[in-house]
Chains A and B, each alone.
Chain A
Amino acid sequence: RKEVEQDPGPFNVPEGATVAFNCTYSNSASQSFFWYRQDCRKEPKLLMSVYSSGNEDGRFTAQLNRASQYISLLIRDSKLSDSATYLCVVTRPGFDMRFGAGTRLTVKP
């Protein structure tokens, strides 16, 4: 079993839709959590950190459930430009960062 697991998708949604991605992690000692975005043939870029209290950045909302070892990302009012692969990232003590395989999103007109 991989340490960080994501639904690979692809998720194909129309513009304006709300879409949610889930991520589970196996190491209960994990400390920091992030969502990165990666466009096709580009490098990953930080989308947002994920805090225990949940956090929002515009149309994006991230949630963390430590008890269930589960992270989510919600995108509201999807735009064409949101089409990308979304990578769930988890770090352990000693800062051993682990990436999920990513969830691919395609937003269609």
Chain B
Amino acid sequence: EAGVVQSPRYKIIEKKQPVAFWCNPISGHNTLYWYLQNLGQGPELLIRYENEEAVDDSQLPKDRFSAERLKGVDSTLKIQPAELGDSAVYLCASSLASGGASDVQETQYFGPGTRLLVL
């Protein structure tokens, strides 16, 4: 079975430029997450989707970040304009369910991430 797919794997852009990341979750997984991971830190949740609905975007910097999950499958995360401090790894994860489900259903599977470098 295919895992979580992300693209691109690497992206180098100049500050103030826009950038977009794409994620295809595991088939049948209703819950999709976007995380940001800085070097030496654990992943930090940016946004969580239940199907096509964003149920937790409290940590998403909405002045420059946006996300969508049309049709409740693939998702894109966009930054516009990018800043130097946005350089990090952006991880997408998916799970069968969340919110009080069994730990099997809550288990998150991560994609390989997109390494972003803003110059």
Contact = CB atoms under 8 A, between A and B. Distances in A.
Interface of A: 4, 8, 31-32, 34, 42-46, 49, 87, 91, 93-102
Interface of B: 33, 40-45, 48, 56, 91, 98-100, 103, 106-113
Contacts of B113: 43
What is the interface of chain A mostly: helix, strand, loop, or mixed?
A: strand
Count chain B CB atoms within 10 A of each CB in A31, A34, A99 and give the residue with the most. Answer: A99
A43 B103 contact: no
A32 B106 CA distance: 9
Contact of A97 (B40, B41, B108, B112): B108
A99 B42 CA distance: 5
A43 B108 contact: no
Given A43-B111, A43-B112, 19 more contacts: A32-B103, A32-B106, A34-B103, A43-B91, A43-B110, A45-B109, A45-B110, A46-B107, A46-B108, A49-B103, A87-B42, A95-B100, A97-B108, A99-B44, A100-B42, A101-B40, A101-B41, A102-B40, A102-B41
